[in-house]
Structure 1
Amino acid sequence: MSDQAALVFEERQYSLAHLEALTDGMAGALAKHGVRAGERVALMASNRPEFVLAVRAAWRLGAAIVALSPSWKQAEIEHALAITGARLAVGDQELLGNLLPMWHLDEPIPTGGGPFPATDPDADALLVFSSGTTGLPKAVRHTARSFATAVGQWRDVLGLTGADRIQVTTPPSHILGILNIVTALETGAWLRLHRRFDLDLVLRSIEHDRITVEMAVAPIALAMASHPALESYDLSSLRYIMWGATPVTASVAETVTRRTGVGWVPAYGASELPVIACNPLAGARLDSVGKAAPGVTLRVVSLETGAVLGPGETGEIQARSDSLMAGYLPAEATEDAFADGWYRTGDVGEIDADGWLRLTDRVREMVKVRGFQVAPAEVEGVLHGHPAVADCAVFGIPDPADGEALIAAVTVAAGTAAAGTTSAPVDADALVAWVGERLASYKRPRTVVFVDDIPRLPSGKVLRRVLKERYGRTSDH
């Protein structure tokens, strides 16, 4: 096995042989910690090589990783643990260690370990989280087989080989982060893992490490487009930049290409089905997420009748693939995600006669902030807990940096009023902080608007489209 670096983190370098030895050692340590085949192990950690080792070590034992975001607060962690049944933990976050027995990633990794038994490819291997219409995050279950299939699809559509060099700045607990990491290592590509996102560091790494494929989401693309010294960096090693997680903002992508000469490859996936579509590496288009990935079958169905539609007709995008999730936890959430065996993406779009997929809207009311799904009902539940809030509704508006931004419309309880009025005020910033204290930072509203009433149907369903029309262009955002 080659001694060349496979994973690099700051000044530390790991060859594949070194990673294998460390993985064996950590697997042995986790086995002593009580991890067994079929166990669900909560993993909550910052970006670091030990995160990668923990994932590989758990898989070596036939256990499943429950990937928790290090930005989560205690209530979010407790919910995730309750629905997944995780009883053991690995990580570097004190909040998780207070809730479960945790093997800390700062512990020295022993050498040796094994031999390890053969594992079941159809057993759960990875659980990531996707918010649902109930407002509480659901766990997306991937088996070893389904995730390995997704890795192969990602490698194929991106044309990755052992000659490629990539870097990862996105949280590894997010499906895109862990997909990029595992795909790079499985392909034999050179991988730099960053502790956090820093644009100048990313650009310097492209130049000095001769990165060949850059993985980007909307905030990274916008930061590149607006960087005053972008031209001072040598980005000539890049074959392309992948745009994922949100629809492409064409003006931003075109600005980066004009200033650097580097083109884009838009792609489309979900936690439930990591690789749905991707543009061809030659002839990529900014107005489409591309064509169905190899091994993925797509169809469009009517939003009203569920009937299958023809080319160019607009409806819900549905998909089938061996890389599709095994289901959700809680299990009862799974049924609504499928129609006749097809996964309902919840996205609205059309597929033309040549197979190009264009997304136009979202069936569900989810808001996607920086690639993370946010359920309005979850944020509304927190706002409703504030004594000054009588009613509220949360919705998303397009945002060039984050994909979408959260706006909260709030009516105040009797005896209180918005700041600037005569009765006891409730401050918009205080409501944003209230949410921030209870939920991850990306779930905080960008803006709070005070309204006289929340428009609803007789059934009680919020008319979010009305709110978007009334307040979606508020100057405050």
Structure 2
Amino acid sequence: MPRFTHPELPLDALLRRAAVRDPDGTALTCGQKTLTYAELDARADRVAHYLQHATGRRGTTVGVANTLDAVFAATYYGTSRSGHTIALVNPLVGEGALHHVFTAAAIEIAFVPSATAELLTKMRERLPDLHTIVVTDADDGVVPADALPLHVALDGVPDGPAGLGTGPADLDAVVCLQFTTGTTGRPKGVRLTHRNLVANAAQIALAHRLTPASVTLNHLPLFHVMHLNSAVYAGASQVLCQDGDPIASLALAARTGATHYYGLPARLHRLAADPRLTTSREGIPAAPRLTAVMSGGTALAPAAARRLHEALGVPVIQGYGMAELSPLCHNQSIEDHSRKGAVGRPLPGTESRIVGLDSREAVDVWATGEVQVRGPQVMAGYLDDDEPARIDADGWFSTGDIGYEDADGVLYLVDRLGDVFKYDNELVSPTAVERVLADDPRVAECVVVGWPDAVHGAVVWAGIVLRETPGPPQHAAHAVLDVLDSITEKANSRLAHFERIRRVEALDAVPRTPTGKPRRQELRSRLRTRAAAEAAA
């Protein structure tokens, strides 16, 4: 296998390189608006000029909301080009999470949509570092009195290249702070370097087979730097789909000649369950250039992947990674996409191994343990110095995920280290139980966690969202219980004794993070309180 190499460039130079190579090539399409690479590069220059003028120094932390639009791409690369640090801001979170991100990162200037600007204005006295709020969608929303519309901020800045053009000499300097989703505790600030992000962009472009002829359709609630950086690295065109309707996203893929369709598992599950999506393909917009559907963020149920593959006629590819890995480390290939439950082989230039939970030594093929990864995409560490980086002296990063590798080096994930629990001395994987439940056509979605048990340590609790409410309204409650009992009995017949569902409840919806991950910690906390109350009664 040839040795993996990547350009020795700062992050923003990826965009400059693409603009030089193909200035008239389409970089972004969003609705009726299209930007060429030259136009996007010029917008990044304007943002960089503004930041250089607004701060008069390098090293300021700038909050950038990762909205699914061209503004994010320009402010993201423009912040890097100005010599400042990007702090990614999720515009879907509430005041508590915003306060944590802004104070932990000491954000001074923020590029955010109007709704987030309103929240920040209310919190201004509790954010001593924040001195400037720039509203990125001023044309669509109300601008708070002490905020600045983006067009006003950029009015009068000079044209032409900003800063050094080629960025800082130190490619190992931190350029981006990305906060984890906080599913296992308070969100952690991940410190990513120019080298981390450029290397991972190159790795992803190779793994996803992106070229200048590729058209990537992003059907995501937010813009992810993984898709932005890899497409810009390859000089590919990106289509941003802001319509939440899954069939509308397929129609857009057909109209734009998309070659790659990117979606979160939560949205892909809805697409797979959509009655308009049938294996006969009647009424499904034909996308003849489409080569793959790409899923990442959390596990996509094999049944959903199979339905999408049958309906669309293209491979459904699962990837694996996390913020600490810039973010991707493994990816299925088109050739091995049908391996059930697999997340693929390591990306080019990436090493992976499984270590025992107690021994911390590498284990044999097929043996289960914690996944460790080593490669140029491994973060520089966490923002909080008190937070262990989980990187050993040899560069191995402990992911906190449990899995195993087959004889071909393909990785299979079992669960998060913090999500698994023990029934007696047996390890229970919530994800494994959820996969069995998800095979039942009566189940729309489900979530599994451990219910505290004095005898066994913990037993399986399952929350199930039914696809249909059974029976007439006056008998619905009893009918729901009967269906839940039937689903549980069917699932338990396929589960080991320690995995069997002992408690089950109907849910209106599975609580999820903005990226679609189940909020297991929140559920566990609620169930512990209920279990304690039951024990005391």
TM-score tier (shorter): 0.7 to 0.9
Deviations 1:380-416 (A, max 9, x none): xxxxxxxxxxxxxxx9983859987487989xxxxxx
1:161 paired residue number = 211
Cα distance in 2 for partners of 1:51, 1:165 equals 19
Task: List per-residue Cα deviations over 1:344-387 (Å, max 9, x = no partner).
Answer: 111111112221111112212399xxxxxxxxxxxxxxxxxxxx
Please say if 1:144 is aligned against 2:194.
yes
Q: Give the 5 Å matches for 1:109-148.
A: 109-110=154-155, 112-117=159-164, 118-119=167-168, 120-131=170-181, 135-148=185-198
Structure 2 CA distance for partners of 1:32 and 1:201, relative to 1, 3 Å? farther
TM-fit CA distance, 1:140: 0.7
Report SS of the residue matched to 1:163: coil
How far apart are residue 198 of structure 1 and its match?
2.8
Distance 1:358 1:221 in 2: 20
**Alignment correspondent of 1:453:** 532
Equivalents in 1 of 2:161, 2:33: separation in Å?
A: 25
**1:248-259 pair list within 5 angstroms:** 248-259=300-311
The answer as to 2:338 corresponding to 1:297 is no
Q: State the AA in 1 paired with 2:80.
A: W
Q: Find the residue that maps to 1:211 and give its secondary structure.
A: coil
SS of aligned partner of 1:75: helix
Say if 2:79 is the partner of 1:58: yes
C-alpha separation in 2, matches of 1:300 and 1:49: 40
Structure 1 residues 83 and 76: alpha-carbon distance in aligned structure 2, compared to 1, 3 A threshold: same
277-286 vs 350-359, which moves further: 277-286
Distance 1:403 1:318 in 2: 30
The letter of the residue matching 1:102 is: I
Corresponding position: 1:352 with 2:373: no
Classify 1:454/1:192 alpha carbon distance in 2 versus 1 (closer, same or farther; 3 Å).
farther
Q: Partners of 1:134 and 1:251 in 2: how far apart?
A: 27
Matched with 1:272 is: 324
Q: Distance in 1 between matches of 2:228 and 2:244?
A: 16
| Alpha carbons of structure 1 residues 404 and 68: separation in structure 2 relative to 1, 3 Å | farther
Q: CA deviation at 1:129?
A: 1.1
- Alpha carbons of structure 1 residues 334 and 2: separation in structure 2 relative to 1, 3 Å: same
Per-residue deviation, 1:282 = 2.4
State the alpha-carbon separation in 1 of the partners of residues 345 and 46 from structure 2: 42
Asked if 2 retains the 8 angstrom alpha-carbon contact of 1:40 and 1:66, the reply is yes
RMSD: 3.5
CA distance in structure 1 between the partners assigned to 2:515 and 2:390 by the alignment? 28
1:26 aligns to what?
47
Q: Distance in 1 between matches of 2:236 and 2:55?
A: 33
Give the number of equivalent residue pairs: 406
Partner of 1:102: 133
Q: TM-score, normalised by structure 1?
A: 0.76
The aligned counterpart of 2:238 is 191
The answer to whether the aligner puts 1:333 opposite 2:387 as a matched pair is: yes
Whether 2:241 is the aligned partner of 1:205: answer no
Question: Kindly tell me: are residues 136 and 24 of structure 1, through their superposed partners in 2, closer, same or farther at Cα, counting changes over 3 Å?
Answer: same
Indicate if the aligned counterparts of 2:390 and 2:397 stay in contact, CA closer than 8 A. no
State percent identity of aligned pairs.
25
Q: Are residues 403 and 35 of structure 1, via their aligned partners in 2, closer, same or farther at CA, if it must alter by over 3 Å?
A: farther
In our comparison, the structure showing a higher alpha carbon Rg is 2
TM-score, normalised to structure 2, is: 0.68
The CA deviation string for residues 36-77 of structure 1, in whole angstroms up to 9 with x for no partner, is 432211122532211111001001112121111111111211
Provide closer, same or farther for how the CA distance between residues 356 and 225 of structure 1 changes in structure 2, counting only shifts above 3 A: same
CA separation in 2, counterparts of 1:261 and 1:134?
37
Cα 1:123/1:310, change in 2 over 3 Å: same
Unaligned 5+ segments in structure 2 are: 1-21, 125-129, 139-149, 422-429, 453-507
SS at match of 1:180: helix
1:40, 1:64 within 8 Å by CA — same for their partners in 2?
yes
Give unpaired runs (5+ residues) of structure 1: 368-394, 411-431, 457-477
Counterpart residue identity of residue 96, structure 1: L
Match of 1:317 among 355, 363, 371: 371
Q: Distance in 2 between matches of 1:215 and 1:30?
A: 32
Q: Does 1:49 align with 2:70?
A: yes
Q: Distance in 2 between matches of 1:404 and 1:8?
A: 35
Q: Contact 1:247/1:403 (CA < 8 Å) preserved in 2?
A: no
Instruction: Name the CA shift for 1:408/1:248 in 2 (closer, same or farther; >3 Å).
Output: closer
Cα distance in 2, alignment partners of residues 321 and 103 from structure 1: 36
Counterpart-to-counterpart distance in 1, 2:46 and 2:92? 28
Decide which of 188, 199, 215 is 2:262's aligned counterpart: 215
